Amino acid sequence: MNIFNRIKYFFVPAEYYSAENLTFENPSLEFKELEDETILNTTEYVKKYLIEVQKLDTKNLKSKNVFEFEKVDDLIVFIIKALEFDYKEMEAEKWKFEYFMNHYFLDNKTICIYNKFTNAETEVGNMILTLISIRKFNGKYYCWINVDDNEPAGNSG
């Protein structure tokens, strides 16, 4: 197996993607830091674009790994904490990064928050990581944190 296939094999199971000039058909929310306006925009985005699903689980998102919220405000507080944690890690590792929010490209009923990052020293290796996946089922909000130090809590889609 050549080196590029080995790298691809390593990253694909954890939902890492590499792309140049990434664009989406539907609106995307992009941000570098969590500010009051970003939090408000995130809440509005979830309310406007999250579509109710008939079944909570998917191939990669399992209900045993999910966090459940009755209200969108509680979901947003949870997302903020997860992003704050990731932000601190990215800053400590000196990555050049930004976040964006959009539908999962294989499922328009799942909204994801992605981290797009590059090595700040070499500017080589643009990567996209699905950090958070969100679905709505039976009037409740469900959130998966897709990155853990030991094992992903579920991949997107």
Please measure the distance between the N-terminal and C-terminal CA atoms of the chain and give it in whole angstroms: 28
Which residue ranges make up each domain of the chain?
29-145
pTM: 0.76
Angle at 114 between CA 111 and CA 116, to 5 degrees: 155
pLDDT at residue 67 tops 80: yes
Q: How many CB atoms lie within 10 A of CB 144?
A: 25
Q: Which residue matches tokens 């947003």?
A: 76
Distances (CA, A) of 73 to 35, 44, 110: 16, 11, 18
Angle at 51 between CA 45 and CA 57, to 5 degrees: 115
Task: Encode pLDDT of 50-66 as tens digits.
Answer: 999 999 988 888 888 89
Q: What is the pLDDT of residue 117?
A: 86
Instruction: Give the model's confidence band at 148: pLDDT under 50 very low, under 70 low, under 90 confident, else very high.
Output: low
